[in-house]
Structure 1
């Protein structure tokens, strides 16, 4: 089977002065786009074959910015600058492609539109008609000579834009948050609508799985939506709301293990653990396998018709008259009353903690802080010091939970039959050091003052 990767150059400047089209350099955003696509091309193994690039400045700079992210990979022996690819005619690119040597199994082409879109749709008519700047298409082709290609002979197996690979690029196109103006009910409806739009807009980036920030923001928006819904339920009854919130909770929980694995892998990459090279590599490989499996399961859920139906039902629900009536009852005074109850519950839980309290007790405290923070965000009159303190507590308790989840994953890895007794001892030793770190964090939690003062 052959693999063809088709990439449009990143965003370029418009010609000015004596500059012609061939000389157009990349814009700053184009450079960020190219940088974002480097891990995508690595993951897709697009840089393992031959790389053919148009001689235009914008295509050459696209490759340069990709290569700058891959210091360990020398592309010089694979790189071919070709004037024939500086074309906007799909027929010309097709003729060039058919003339490739038959021994080539993987080919990356960096060129121009509309030629690349025309070529892509000739290869597979299911290909979208749009190929934004910096985007990549991955086709598989039968193991026949390039010259024997026929229309429709390829299958599009991958498509990704820079805005789906990088959260920082996505933010420019993300739904804009609503203005905090008008009545409380109007603000809350706008907030719920915005969070729904964010969830749907984040889904492609979550499924791409290149930038873990997509998953984090996806979880945050689901949880905030649920927090608003729970606040409504605590004040007034809304038919069907309990069932809706249960589904939101289910969707958020479906991301928990993947998020924990993402954080664990990022942490050990930044700060290698006290393990031998063999054990560390074994742990990293095992965690990455778990991560791939969790991500695949999540992608299947997000692609299922049932998920789309749930999201559409939630959209219709928050736009319903029942929710309008309930939101009208959610006055600042009532929000404050519920918030005070949750603060009191938190302070009771904090006072009940001791050095012997279970990890679960601290996890419940963390969940309570999170709900208090989301509810406090609904009240713009809340003091900044109070919100800052909530964030500090949430971070402290989150660090404690991260240590607990790392212990759990480390224990599961240690029990793998592939590990020998020496590796198990290493894991046990590291697990013990994590327990010491938990003990220090536990002391910090016990030293916290009540929120109600």
Structure 2
């Protein structure tokens, strides 16, 4: 099997003055694009074979930005700068590819359009008709020598853009949030439509699985949509709303374990747990195996016709006359009444807590707090001090939940018969040491004053 990776250079400056096309450097955004693709190229194993780069400044700088993200790797002995790759003609690029030695199993080409996209379409007509800056295509050839390639001979394995690999880059192009103009009904409908658009726009990044922030924002928009729908349901009856809210809940729940794993794995990178290097590596690999499994399951769900149908049904429902009539009843006065009811419930649950309260009780308190926050966000006149207090409480309870989740995964690691006994002992000791910070957070939560004053 042979693998071909086609990468277009990242975003470059336009020529000015005496600058030739060959001399065009990357823009700042281009440098961020190239850096964002480093983990993609690593995951796809594109850097394990030959790396062939056009001698243009923008392609060389693209490689430099990728290499800068790989401090523990060297590409020097596998990088070839070739003037022949500074071409915009597919015939020249194809001739170069067919001349590769048969001993080359993988090749990454960093080059230029339209040659790259024309070559991609020659390899497989299912390839996208355009290739944005910084994007990468992966093709595989089964039992085919380079010299004997024929049109349509390759399988398209993957296609990824920087905006699908990096949430900060995606954010530039993300649907813009609505303003706060108009009555409450129009604001809420605009908010629900925006959340729907965000859910759909985030899906490619979630499926790519490179930047975990995509999954986080995807969950947030699902939960906010559900919270707004629940608020509407608390005010008036809307036929079909309950069933659709259950679907949103199901979609959000399908991401829970994966999000917890993302957070735990990121903490392992950012902090120094009391583990030996061997144990940390063993735990990391074990968690990553579950992460891949959960991500694969989520991707399968997102790619089903049922998922697309349910999301499209939700969008149609939001725009329906039934929802419009219900939204007309969601006045600031009624919204405040629902908010006051939820605040009162929160205060009752908070007062019922004791030092012996279960972890589940604090988790339920956190879920109720989120519903309060989402509802409070509907009204632009909600005092900033109140929103700040909600955020503070969410952080406290979120930190508590992270520790609780971490303990649960450590328990699972220790219970697995396949893991090393010494590593399990270290993880068990770490799990026990997390009780103290959990208790400290529990005390902070118990010391909170009621929200209603």
Q: TM-score range by the shorter chain?
A: over 0.9
Question: What is the distance in 1 between the residues matched to 2:163 and 2:281?
Answer: 31
Report the CA distance between 1:426 and its aligned residue.
1.6
1:11-30 matches, within 5 Å, as: 11-30=11-30
In the alignment, structure 1 residue 286 sits paired with structure 2 residue 270: no
Please, which runs of 5 or more residues in structure 2 have no aligned partner?
A: none
Map of 2:325 onto structure 1 = 325
Q: How far apart, in 1, do the equivalents of 2:51 and 2:320 lie?
A: 54
- Whole-angstrom distance in 1 between the partners of 2:282 and 2:73: 24
2:233 is the alignment partner of 1:233:
yes
Query: Following TM superposition, by how much is the alpha carbon of 1:422 offset from its aligned partner in structure 2, in angstroms?
Result: 3.0
1:413 aligns with 2:421: no
Task: Provide the secondary structure at the position in 1 that maps to 2:80.
Answer: strand
- 1:49-68 correspondence to structure 2 within 5 Å: 49-68=49-68
Confirm or deny that 1:188 pairs with 2:158. Answer: no
> Displacement of 1:420 after TM fit?
4.2
* 2:90 match: 90
- The residue number in structure 2 matching 1:366 is 366
1:70-89 equivalence runs, <5 A:
70-89=70-89
In 1: Cα distance, 2:443 partner to 2:248 partner: 34
SS at match of 2:175: coil
**Structure 1 residue 118: deviation in Å?**
0.7
Structure 2: distance between partners of 1:423 and 1:154? 44
TM-score, normalization by structure 1: 0.99
User: CA offsets, 1:284-304, max 9 Å, x none?
Assistant: 100000000000000000001
Q: For residues 337 and 150 of structure 2, what CA distance do their matches in structure 1 show? A: 69
Deviations 1:14-48 (A, max 9, x none): 11111111111111111110010011001111011
Please state whether the residue corresponding to 2:434 is helix, strand or coil. helix
Number of residues paired by the alignment?
Answer: 453
Does the 8 Å CA contact 2:11/2:27 hold for their aligned counterparts?
yes
Q: Tell me which residue corresponds to 2:159.
A: 159
Q: Deviations over 1:95-124 (max 9, x none)?
A: 000000110001000000000011011111
For 2:92 and 2:392, locate their aligned partners in 1 and report how far apart those are by CA, in whole Å: 60
User: Runs ≥4 in structure 1, deviation > 3 angstroms?
Assistant: none
Q: Shift of residue 417 of structure 1?
A: 1.1
Query: Which structure 2 residues correspond to residues 158-307 of structure 1 after superposition, within 5 A?
Result: 158-307=158-307
SS in 2 for 1:177: coil
- Give me the whole-angstrom Cα distance separating, in 2, the residues matched to 1:426 and 1:91: 59
Q: Distance in 2 between matches of 1:175 and 1:153?
A: 38
Q: Tell me how far 1:379 sits from its aligned partner.
A: 1.2
CA deviation after TM superposition for structure 1 residue 175, in Å: 0.4
Q: Separation in 2 of the partners of 1:340 and 1:351?
A: 16
How do residues 80-119 of structure 1 correspond to structure 2 at under 5 angstroms?
A: 80-119=80-119
Query: Contact 2:193 / 2:318 at 8 angstroms: preserved in 1?
Result: yes
**What SS does structure 2 have at the residue aligned with 1:311?**
helix
Q: Is the contact made by 2:87 and 2:115 (CA closer than 8 Å) also made in structure 1? A: yes
Q: Which segment drifts farther, 385-394 or 269-278?
A: 269-278
| Cα distance in 2 between the residues matched to 1:189 and 1:256 | 27
Normalised by the length of structure 2, the TM-score is 0.99
The residue aligned with 1:338 is 338
The root-mean-square deviation of aligned C-alpha atoms, in Å, is 0.8
